[in-house]
Amino acid sequence: MAPTPEPHPGPRPPQPAPPAPPRTLKPGTSWSDAWRRSLTAAPEAFRDDRVLNLWAADWHPDGAPLPATSPLDGTSVAGPPRLDADAARHAVRAALDQHRGWRHVPFPERKARVSATLDALTEHRELLALLLVWEIGKPWKLAQADVDRAIDGVRWYVAEIARMLADRTPLPGPVSNIASWNYPMSVLVHAMLVQALAGNAVIAKTPTDGGLACLTLACALAAREGVPLTLVSGGGRELSPALVRSPEIGCVSFVGGRDTGARVAVDVADLGKRHILEQEGLNTWGIWDHTDWPSLTPLLRKTFDYAKQRCTAYPRFVVQRAAFADFLAAYLPAVRGVRFGHPLAVAAPDDPLPELDFGPLINAAKAKELADLTTEAISRGTVPLHRGTLDDGHFLPSQDTSAYFPPTALLSPPPSSPLHYAEPFGPVDTIVPVDTEAELLAAMNASNGALVATLSCDDQDTYERLASQIRAFKIGHGTPRSRGDRDELFGGFGNSWRGAFVGGDLLVHAVTEGPPGERLPGNFPDYHLMP
């Protein structure tokens, strides 16, 4: 008798994937590693337990350091050594003495010293970027890009500035810079080195919320080459009389929010002082008679870079109601594809650092503020179109995630919500449907002036007609606009900008004196002049 065949066992049920190994901090990237490398790179500017203030061409252990933590995971980091008002006045007077000497240094020598500074910044590029990751939460690639844009941008000025300085002289006093924390290198250090190249001594206040160690290292490298920089820490109330109102100051350059900017604007207007005040505005992206949806999704995801903590971020989309379903089909895959989390967390020590759209917000207080604003808006009738969760994030085991906020999209926040009119400065989009061109323009101009805007519209003539009525300095046709580099100009309309416009030749003209009666392009109390 033939043997009975054994029954076929059938397909094996799917086996669960083995659990992923817990993520760890990439070796060599800890805060202690970054701090140790900073001490080695610039021992004159760092102590074991603190950073120093730079004034009168020397580093001073003055000021009371505030405690500080990294937004990445709550790690303790160096806090700003806050000067009092009297010390700030001494620093400003010393900067004036530097200015009086530096303005007579021959241009070839100024150019050589700034070029040597750029070589030193290039040598320490990765350390500067790592400090940015820890201090302000930038993902690795974005932190590197911030450093590179500063270096490359100033190199362009080194090559081009001679023609910009024709028949121009430095200001009568140093330039005072008060900037926000989000772009310490590509905005603040870039501006400082161009101001110095133009013949001015330069003062900067370190942002209270982050960037202290990165800025200190950059200024130490410049000071070694004899570039006349002053870098001090302190509260706005204590330092503003010296850094804004002092008669020694030749120009005030400010980057920040409208409330603080308005106070600075009053001070400089009273004194008739040269000024550059870049303030926030609600940058909007309009969708009108648009059909090229496949090209829109990748652009929408890019708007979440650095958690929209940029002056040129797009937190508001104004969408033609007839195209709303098509817009959502393009938008939702973009927002669902956003990756966020700890920028230095890896699965294995040899793995590359993760490619994230954003890391934490600048601090836990900002994350809580956004959570409260979102909850309040929903309670008042806003429809949540997308609400990510921290479970979607890329984190270390049991790390502090209090400074993280997942991407969120809300439909039509009511006028009673601050999200109706204000820039959230975080990964929260508000989407407003409209039916007419008049409604589109009203919604896109909700904040009385913006830095950038975009209009996605198939027909060129319609785009040009509508774009001419949008109150933004730069307007993109279906693509986002940025602050720009090198010869690209930058400014703002309405309350988003006060004083001289910048970029290209205008940045140099804003911090130098030209012929008598010169009217700089800008938004001034008594005139508005476009380039």
pLDDT of 271-291, one tens digit each? 788 999 998 889 999 999 999
Torsion of CA 268, 269, 273, 274, to 10 degrees: 90
Please enumerate, as own/partner, the contacts of 459-463 that have beta carbons within 8 Å and a separation of 24 or more. Answer: 459/289, 462/288, 462/289
Q: For residue 362, what pLDDT is reported?
A: 97
d(CA 481, CA 302): 12
Can you read off the two tokens belonging to residue 143? 């932190």
Given a contact cutoff of 8 angstroms between Cβ atoms, the answer to whether 365 and 301 are in contact is no
Measured from the Cβ of residue 527, the count of other Cβ atoms closer than 10 Å reads 9
Can you read off the two tokens belonging to residue 530? 């476009």
Global confidence as pTM: 0.94
Q: For residue 428, what pLDDT is reported?
A: 97
Bridge-partner residues for 472, per DSSP? Answer: 450
pLDDT of 381-427, one tens digit each? 999 999 999 999 999 999 999 999 999 999 999 988 989 888 899 99
Q: For residue 46, what pLDDT is reported?
A: 97
Bridge-partner residues for 232, per DSSP? Answer: 205
Q: For residue 66, what pLDDT is reported?
A: 93
- CA separation, residue 412 to residues 317, 367, 429 (Å): 10, 21, 10
Amino acid at 434: V
pLDDT of 200-244, one tens digit each? 999 999 999 999 999 999 999 999 999 999 999 998 888 989 999
d(CA 109, CA 50): 33
SS3 156: helix
Ranges of residues in the chain with a pLDDT under 70 are: 1-20, 261, 270
Write the DSSP symbol of residue 184. I
Residues for the chain: how many in total? 531
d(CA 6, CA 503): 81
Residue of 373, 342, 345, 346 lying closest to 360 (CA atoms)? 342
